[in-house]
Chains A and B, each alone.
Chain A
Amino acid sequence: MQQIINFLYKNSITLLFLLLLGISLTFTIQSHSYHRSRAVSSANAVTGYVSEQINNVEAYFGLREQNEHLAFENAQLKRLLYNTQDSTARPPVTVPNELGTFKVIQSKVIINSYNKQENYLTINNGAKDGIKPDMGVVSSQGVIGYIEQTSNGYATIISLLNKKFRLGAKIKKNNHFGTLIWNGKNTGFAQLVDVPRLATVIKGDTIVTGAESTIFPENIPIGTIEKVYIDKKTNYYTLDIRLFNDMTSLGYVYVIENKDRKEIEQLQQATTNE
Chain B
Amino acid sequence: MNSTVLINIFRFLALLAVQVAVFNGLNLFGFLNPYPYILFILLFPVNGNKAVLLISAFFLGLFVDMFLNTGGPHSVACVVLAYLRPTIFKFSFGISYEYQTIKINDRLSPERFSFILISIILHHLILFQLETFRFGMILSALLDTLYSTIFTLIICIITIYLIKPGKQQ
Chain A residues contacting B66 (CB-CB under 8 Å) are 40-42, 44, 46-47
Separation of A120 and B32 alpha carbons in the complex (Å): 17
Q: Is A113 a contact of B79 with CB atoms below 8 Å?
A: no
CB distance from A250 to the nearest CB of B (A): 13
Interface centre among B62, B70, B80 (most CB of A within 10 A): B70
Check: A17 CB closer than 8 A to any chain B CB: yes
Check: B51 CB closer than 8 A to any chain A CB: yes
Indicate which residue in B58, B67, B69 contacts A24 across the interface (CB closer than 8 Å): B58
Check: A65 CB closer than 8 A to any chain B CB: no
Chain B residues contacting A12 (CB-CB under 8 Å) are 51
* CB closest residue in chain B, given A28: B72
Chain B residues contacting A27 (CB-CB under 8 Å) are 65, 71-72, 75
Q: Is A24 a contact of B61 with CB atoms below 8 Å?
A: yes
Check: B109 CB closer than 8 A to any chain A CB: no
Check: A70 CB closer than 8 A to any chain B CB: no
Separation of A184 and B136 alpha carbons in the complex (Å): 11
Binds B, one of A30-38, A172-180, A254-262: A30-38
* CB closest residue in chain B, given A31: B71
Check: B102 CB closer than 8 A to any chain A CB: no
Query: Which B residues, 72 to 125, have Cβ-Cβ distances below 8 Å to chain A?
Result: 72-73, 75-76, 79-80, 82-83
Q: Is A117 a contact of B79 with CB atoms below 8 Å?
A: no
CB distance from A128 to the nearest CB of B (A): 20
Check: B167 CB closer than 8 A to any chain A CB: no
Indicate which residue in A17, A54, A116, A117 contacts B20 across the interface (CB closer than 8 Å): A54
* CB closest residue in chain B, given A18: B83
CB contacts between A and B, total, < 8 Å: 113
Chain A residues contacting B58 (CB-CB under 8 Å) are 20, 23-24
Q: Is A21 a contact of B71 with CB atoms below 8 Å?
A: no
Q: Is A117 a contact of B50 with CB atoms below 8 Å?
A: no
Check: A16 CB closer than 8 A to any chain B CB: yes
User: What is the interface size of chain B, counting residues whose CB is below 8 A from a CB of the partner?
Assistant: 37
CB distance from A46 to the nearest CB of B (A): 8
How large, as a class, is the contact surface on chain A?
35 or more
The 8 closest A-B pairs by CB, nearest first: A31-B71, A27-B72, A28-B72, A120-B69, A24-B75, A115-B31, A17-B83, A24-B76
Q: Is B54 a contact of A122 with CB atoms below 8 Å?
A: no
Indicate which residue in A21, A30, A156 contacts B80 across the interface (CB closer than 8 Å): A21
Separation of A138 and B65 alpha carbons in the complex (Å): 25
Check: B137 CB closer than 8 A to any chain A CB: yes
Check: B30 CB closer than 8 A to any chain A CB: yes
* Given contact pairs A28-B73, A28-B133, A111-B69, A21 touches B21 in the complex (Cβ within 8 A): no
Indicate which residue in A31, A47, A114, A184 contacts B67 across the interface (CB closer than 8 Å): A47
* CB closest residue in chain B, given A27: B72
Q: Is B67 a contact of A42 with CB atoms below 8 Å?
A: yes
Chain A residues contacting B63 (CB-CB under 8 Å) are 47
Q: Is B83 a contact of A31 with CB atoms below 8 Å?
A: no
